[in-house]
A and B are shown apart, each in its own frame.
Chain A
Amino acid sequence: MNRRKYNTTLYVAPVSGKTIPPRAEVREALWRRFRQFAEDKEFPVIEEKQQISYNNILVSFRINDVTTDKIYILSFQPTREDIPKWGKECVKAASSVLEFCNLLGSEITVPTSGLVFNRVWLSGQDSVDISDWEVIFPLSRPATKSPLGDFLRETGQTRYENIFLLVPKNTDFHIFTQTFFKGIEPFPQLRNILSDFGTVQGPRSIVTSKEFCEKLAVSIKEKAVFVFLEDKQSLDRWYEKHKIFYDSNRIPTQYIDEKTVRDKLTRFPGVKANIVLEMLTKMGKPPIVLQAPEEIFINDGFLCLSDIVSTRQRLFGALFTYSKQGLGLKEEVQIYDDIEFETPTEHSLEMTEENVDLLARKIQKLIGRSLKIDILLTKRWKEENIDKLIAILIENKIETERVYYISSRTSRFVDEYLEESINYRSCRYPYKVLGKKIAFLKTCTEIRIYPNLFSLYIELMYPEDAQITQSDLEMILWLVKKRIYRVQEFHILKNVEPMYIFKNLRKMYVGEIKERLTIPLRLLI
């Protein structure tokens, strides 16, 4: 058992008085304290952004109060603009912020509000080890399984060949493009790669793709994937226009940037594995599936609720995952355009009683039977909205066990866990529980991009008297790592799958919805 403690840039202060001091007041007092510290140490200060430059890294801080636990959370992070996008620079920046906090000390007092912030540590003991979780290979005949740790090791050793062996060779890839027709690179490269896994047809014009789709016989559609090949800018445009059409017609689509084909697909087998696995998962034939530990499925399913706000639309989405008899999972996403809500801040969502009532009735239709569920929220809801939703659901025999608010942006801090080489790309994910309701779960054990530096913020919103436990975090970790079809990025998978799905939905123009639009989750990954 790893008993080591790892430094973080996170501080917590209990609130001793009856009332919680206002956030603006605390922030101002803290900034005065940090500015003084920076001036004493002669570190440059950027007053208007409340940032301090240390080792050429701009350090910023965030504060967050948790009323239920009566605590204040203070966190330090390197600012995004100041560091390049990729890898090592991110790690260096994190180290600088850790060093900055070392200089600042383990205790920060705010005399005006009586708060004393103490530095928080991650402990090697408080971690979720998933190396024993099982990876199922449903397409091998007969279906077999392997512990996750062994599977990832074998994948590394064989350079993804173990995965390519599992992929059936009978898929029909229909390629559509407006630019890269026969003979024009990178079409030939893409055709060569895909022909290892089935027949490649096309290229055809994207403009005619909908017409082509409508004429396709059902039996052919069942083993077809539509692949769109364009440059990034055009691809985004086609994605916005076309994606919802194919998803509602149950046709799996894959949008591939021509740069990915040129620079990555031909050179890196991991990228090839990602694309092939993603396409097959969209077809409903996933070659690999991360099996949830049985204990996670105490309840019948998870319901994830999120706003889908883009520049063109304000929609609301519900994603329901439930275990069927045996091991299979059924996952559906419903989109509604008649739920009215407000998002007063980036992290919060409010709706009127009538809209909660309408949403509950829609959920009842989506679930359609009596069962026990957990609810995941991507924005913080008002307590009375949650209570109302739970009360209406229970009238319809849908019992809510727990409600979580999950955020990847709240109280971002960095830690030194990955500075120890044994933890790099390990299947052991540390967590920190603060008080009764809050936990931080470090879901990335590799750093490639800036967001990988930070942990997920998880808050147990319901029931009031319950405490967040390791099994809650295991369930959330499974929702993150079940995206194993992105196998090359397994160690950097950070967000729970529903959050990723709703993010994707924001990019597409859904159009007019009659009451609701239902799409199988597999198509939206």
Chain B
Amino acid sequence: MLTEEELGYPHELILSASNRSIGVSKGQYRMRTKLLANLLNFVLKKKREDIKIESKEDPELLILANLTSRSSSSLGQNISEYREKLNALMEDFQTTQSETSYSSFIDFLKEGVFLHILCKEIKGSPLFLGEDISKFSKILDYRENNLKAVFSAIQIWGTQKYDIVPHSIVFEFSSFEDKALREAVIFLSYILAVDYLKSKRELLVTHYMLVKSVIDEFKEVVSQENLADQVLENLFKVAITLFLCGYLKALRLPNDEKTHYLESVIHLPSIEYSFKKAFDEVASISVPHIQFRVPFWILLAINSILLVLHWYNEIYLPLEFSQLGIKFTAPAVPVFLLFAFLISVFMVFRLYKLKSNIIKNFRRGTIES
């Protein structure tokens, strides 16, 4: 089981989601949760369950189910059905102009963004076509600037259309707030950074920031039992997204960016953790067979008390004894001072060990899953 400190890394998040996914895909969960768990198993090339799904189900569920199958024919049909439903919702809104129909359309559209990324990355079949995106974008109001930026990013993804990513996308991504699009922005900010080298710095800042935020969010989740289906769905969605970014085995980033990532995302937390672990080890004394650790500050306090005691009341231990009629006399030893000296030596020794402990931890690696 991973400890909280150890879960500072995207690949650990993927692994820990993967540990749950097998149980979830077999267990009593909602269809959507099970399909996302199965999809994670699929992308990780783990054994997946044969989940039965009826053809009259929601097209979103059918897409998730068909993404794990070898044949792409059913997926194509499901994608068309999804588009039809989107168009119907859009027409509904255009006819009624009601807030309810608008929010239904937007919810469905946002769900579609994640599916689009999955379909394109896993099967090479995009969910949205260029004309769909142009059509939908026209309807979006001022509240949906994040979604507009995501659509613009989808349109230039893989096209190498410009030298740099348009500022509007970079700006919206950097001030991104819409949680429903979080996975999409994590993925798109990363993939565009790879494609558009001139914008990679800004995009990767957004990317790393979001990766860090999801990892922080899921720190507590990992150790928790009986998670609600919605939390599990989010966990699987994030894990799939991070996997698509290449975090489990090798990042798809160019070398210099990989180094940057290692420094900012992996290296720093790793150093923090190693230092903390090593310091905790050396800065306390464990009493064998007893679950008790004396922290460093207590030793310091004892040392100070001993010195004060010596200052006020010097006690000497006479060292006198006779053996075979010969009398030995050693100089008197100041007891408090002697103990204070011994503690100081011990503390200096432990601090000296700190260096070797940290180096040892780095070499061994801190993750022991």
Contact = CB atoms under 8 A, between A and B. Distances in A.
Interface of A: 132, 136-138, 141-146, 294, 324-327, 364-365, 367-370, 397
Given A145-B229, A294-B31, A369-B89, 19 more contacts: A132-B28, A137-B228, A142-B221, A142-B228, A143-B227, A143-B228, A143-B231, A144-B225, A144-B227, A144-B231, A145-B227, A145-B228, A325-B108, A367-B100, A368-B98, A368-B99, A369-B92, A369-B96, A397-B92
A352 to B, nearest CB: 26
Contacts of B230: 143, 326-327
A324 B180 CA distance: 13
Nearest to A289: B228
A146 B230 CA distance: 14
13 contacts: A132-B28, A137-B228, A141-B220, A142-B221, A142-B228, A144-B226, A144-B227, A144-B228, A146-B226, A325-B108, A368-B92, A368-B101, A369-B100
A364 B100 CA distance: 11
A261 B68 CA distance: 58
Contacts of B108: 325
Given A294-B30, A368-B96, A369-B96, A325 B107 contact: yes
B88 interface: yes
Sorted nearest first, the 3 A-B pairs with minimum C-beta distance are A368-B98, A368-B100, A143-B228
B155 to A, nearest CB: 24
Interface in B195-241: 220-221, 224-231, 233
Interface string B225-263: 111111101000000000000000000000000000000
A141 B227 CA distance: 10
B101 A369 contact: yes
Given A145-B226, A370-B88, A325 B98 contact: no
A274 to B, nearest CB: 23
B134 interface: no
Contacts of A365: 96, 98
- With most chain B CB atoms within 10 A of its CB, the pick from A137, A142, A324 is A142
B280 interface: no
Contacts of B226: 144-146
A284 to B, nearest CB: 16
B179 to A, nearest CB: 12
A365 B101 CA distance: 10
A368 B96 CA distance: 7
B132 interface: no
Interface in B23-47: 28, 30-32
Interface in B350-369: none
A86 to B, nearest CB: 37
B224 A142 contact: yes
The B contact surface, by secondary structure, is: helix
B294 to A, nearest CB: 35
A327 B100 contact: no
**Which of A144, A146, A364 lies at the interface centre, i.e. has the most chain B CB atoms within 10 A of its CB?**
A144
Interface residues of B, number: 28
B111 interface: yes
Contacts of A137: 228
Contacts of B89: 369
B264 interface: no
Interface secondary structure of A, over-half rule: loop
A518 to B, nearest CB: 11
Interface of B: 28, 30-32, 88-89, 92-93, 96, 98-101, 104, 107-108, 111, 220-221, 224-231, 233
B104 A369 contact: yes
A155 to B, nearest CB: 16
Most A-side CB within 10 Å, residue of B32, B89, B107, B230:
B230
A132 B27 CA distance: 13
Which of B224, B229, B233 has the most chain A CB within a 10 Å cutoff? B229
Contacts of B221: 142
Contacts of B28: 132
Contacts of A370: 88, 92
Pick the most buried of B30, B31, B88: most chain A CB atoms within 10 A of its CB.
B30
B98 A142 contact: no
A294 B221 CA distance: 24
A190 to B, nearest CB: 33
B22 to A, nearest CB: 19
Contacts of B111: 325
A146 B107 CA distance: 28
Contacts of B107: 324-325
A327 B221 CA distance: 19
A138 B101 CA distance: 26
A364 B290 CA distance: 73
A132 B100 CA distance: 33
A191 B220 CA distance: 34
Contacts of B220: 141-142
A154 to B, nearest CB: 12
Nearest to B88: A370
A144 B231 CA distance: 8
Max count, chain A CB within 10 A of own CB: residue among B98, B99, B225: B98
Nearest to A150: B226
A367 B227 CA distance: 32
Contacts of A143: 227-228, 230-231
B37 to A, nearest CB: 15
A288 to B, nearest CB: 12
Nearest to B105: A369
A159 to B, nearest CB: 21
A144 B220 CA distance: 12
A326 B107 CA distance: 10
A142 B20 CA distance: 15
A144 B98 contact: no
A366 to B, nearest CB: 8
A25 to B, nearest CB: 48
Contacts of B31: 294
Nearest to A300: B104
A326 B233 CA distance: 9
A294 B96 CA distance: 29
B230 to A, nearest CB: 5
A141 B98 CA distance: 35
Contacts of A324: 107
Residue from A132, A368, A370 whose CB has the most chain B CB atoms within 10 Å: A368
A294 B30 CA distance: 7
B75 to A, nearest CB: 21
Contacts of A326: 32, 230, 233
A324 B58 CA distance: 13
Contacts of B104: 369
Contacts of B229: 145, 327
Contacts of B100: 367-369
Nearest to B30: A294
B82 to A, nearest CB: 13
Nearest to B217: A142
A246 to B, nearest CB: 23
B217 to A, nearest CB: 8
Contacts of A364: 96
A77 B65 CA distance: 53
B88 to A, nearest CB: 6
Nearest to B98: A368
Given A294-B31, A325-B108, A326-B233, A369 B228 contact: no
A6 to B, nearest CB: 30
A165 B18 CA distance: 30
Nearest to A146: B226
Contacts of A368: 92, 96, 98-101
Contacts of B96: 364-365, 368-369
B228 A138 contact: yes
A397 B91 CA distance: 11
